[in-house]
């Protein structure tokens, strides 16, 4: 026992030193690379209102690039030196997040030097791009909290996107399309639950089969029918709706309170899931089934019923996430249009430590990276957008590899329950 304690302390000390070196490297990169070629008169201009918005308007924000970058670089190096020599202890993760934010701000100063970057527009786009990732993460979270691994989130989203487009086009009613998308996700989830819970098939294999089925089926229907009969693939979209008073809040209002149903649904689901999982008897039972199903069964909790409920609800959320692409974004279905967002949602769930709030924050990180890559490409930066898209994945691998202690999922996740 003492040996394990000593090893744990040594590992924690090693992580603190590595984190300190990373912070120092961030600071050196800012001071030696980002400041290179800038003068005292160089200005970075940030637009504080998304384009086309007339509510919550804020004037542009101008910053002296050279001075601001110097401050960012010095702060990063000081934090890194303290982390290496002493460490922030349990606050290491918070410090890491703060340093990443400082570094991102420094990068934005660098790419917008003598240029104008619409910061508010980039953040608004980041929220929209994060929606399917976060919703996919919520669907996977419900499943894994009950003890069922669901890698089929991507397939459920893809099927939801297609069904939403088809039924929305036929009925000319976006609500019917949305209902069809959620039902499609629920049906695939029922198949996954049936195979995983009743027949105890390997859950990863079951999910992979559903993904292959969804990809093949949606591609076949798209090529054989939707491309030939355009009236089956032209659905109305959910419009952006401004929330009175809240949409007029400077800077924040246009970003968060001038959006479509899917953004508001995402925030509503966050509140519901956070409360239901950690403040209700149902949530306690669901989590107990995912942690120790035998003990839960002993207390009279129906393990199989609880897992079926969680997986089907997760499938409905995945179908809702898929509908975002056809009913909330482009108004049609295209082959493979989910583009792996379901898998990224599972990574966000893992990064967020199987917690709704953590999943949302991780999803916003991925969405922000996509939005920043697009904005930087428009500005004509020398740094390719693909490298920027890599950043959140690199951060995820570093965190999950144990830089700050790693993350641990539900104990019984992926393990079929054998009732005695």
What does the pLDDT look like over 60-115, one tens digit per residue? 999 999 999 999 999 999 998 988 888 777 676 778 778 888 998 999 999 899 99
Q: How confident is the model at residue 10 (pLDDT cuts 50, 70, 90)?
A: low
Residue 323 · residue 176 · CB < 8 Å: no
CA 49 to chain centre: 24
Domain chopping of the chain, boundaries: 8-114, 121-403
Take residue 284 and report the two structure tokens written for it.
Answer: 């306690």
- What is the CB neighbour count within 10 angstroms for residue 416? 17
Residue 258 · residue 55 · CB < 8 Å: yes
What is the spatial distance between Cα 238 and Cα 174, in angstroms, rounded to a whole number? 7
What is the pLDDT, as a whole number, of residue 1?
A: 47
Of 300 and 10, the one with more pLDDT: 300
118-146 mean pLDDT: 95
Q: Does this model's pTM top 0.85?
A: yes
What is the spatial distance between Cα 180 and Cα 170, in angstroms, rounded to a whole number? 12
Considering the four listed CATH numbers 1.10.357, 1.10.3470, 1.10.10, 3.30.70, the one that applies to the domain covering 121-403 is 1.10.3470
What is the spatial distance between Cα 139 and Cα 28, in angstroms, rounded to a whole number? 41
What does the pLDDT look like over 172-187, one tens digit per residue? 999 999 999 999 999 9
Residues β-bridged to residue 127? none
Alpha carbon distances (Å) from 398 to 8, 80, 140, 303 = 18, 17, 22, 35
What does the pLDDT look like over 376-409, one tens digit per residue? 877 876 777 677 767 666 666 655 554 545 567 8
**By percentage, how much of the chain surpasses pLDDT 90?**
66
């Amino acid at each position: 026992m003492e040996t394990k304690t000593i090893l744990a302390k040594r590992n924690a000390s090693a992580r603190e030193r590595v984190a300190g070196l990373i912070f120092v490297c961030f600071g050196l990169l800012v001071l030696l690379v980002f400041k290179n070629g800038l003068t005292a008169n160089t200005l970075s201009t940030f637009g504080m209102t998304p384009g086309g918005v007339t509510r919550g308007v804020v004037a542009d924000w101008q910053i002296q690039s050279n001075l601001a970058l110097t401050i960012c670089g010095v702060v990063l190096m000081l934090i890194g030196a303290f982390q290496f020599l002493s460490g922030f202890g349990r606050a290491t993760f918070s410090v890491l997040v703060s340093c990443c934010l400082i570094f991102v701000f420094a990068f934005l100063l660098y790419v917008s030097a003598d240029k104008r970057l619409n910061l508010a527009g980039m953040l608004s786009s980041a929220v929209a791009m994060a929606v399917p990732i976060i919703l996919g993460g919520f669907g996977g979270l419900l499943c894994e909290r009950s003890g069922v691994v669901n890698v089929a989130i991507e397939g459920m989203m893809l099927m939801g996107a297609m069904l939403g487009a088809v039924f929305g086009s036929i009925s000319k009613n976006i609500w019917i399309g949305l209902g069809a998308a959620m039902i499609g996700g629920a049906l695939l989830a029922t198949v996954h639950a049936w195979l995983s819970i009743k027949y105890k098939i390997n859950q990863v294999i079951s999910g992979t089969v559903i993904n292959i089925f969804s990809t093949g089926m949606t591609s076949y229907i798209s090529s054989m029918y939707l491309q030939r009969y355009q009236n089956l693939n032209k659905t109305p979209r959910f419009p952006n709706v401004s929330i009175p008073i809240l949409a007029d809040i400077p800077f924040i209002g246009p970003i968060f309170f001038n959006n479509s149903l899917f953004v508001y649904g995402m925030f509503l689901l966050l509140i519901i899931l956070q409360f239901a999982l950690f403040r209700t008897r149902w949530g306690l039972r669901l989590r107990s089934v995912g942690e120790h199903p035998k003990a839960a069964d002993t207390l009279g909790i129906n393990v199989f019923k609880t897992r079926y409920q969680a997986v089907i609800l997760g499938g409905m959320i995945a179908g809702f996430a898929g509908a975002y692409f056809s009913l909330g974004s482009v108004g049609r279905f295209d082959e493979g249009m989910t583009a792996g967002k379901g898998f990224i949602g599972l990574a966000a769930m893992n990064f967020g430590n199987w917690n709704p709030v953590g999943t949302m924050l991780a999803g916003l990180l991925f969405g922000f990276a996509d939005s920043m890559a697009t904005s930087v490409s428009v500005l004509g930066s020398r740094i390719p957008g693909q490298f920027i898209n890599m950043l959140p994945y690199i951060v995820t691998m570093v965190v999950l590899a144990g830089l700050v202690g790693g993350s641990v999922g539900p104990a019984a996740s992926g393990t079929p329950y054998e009732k005695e």
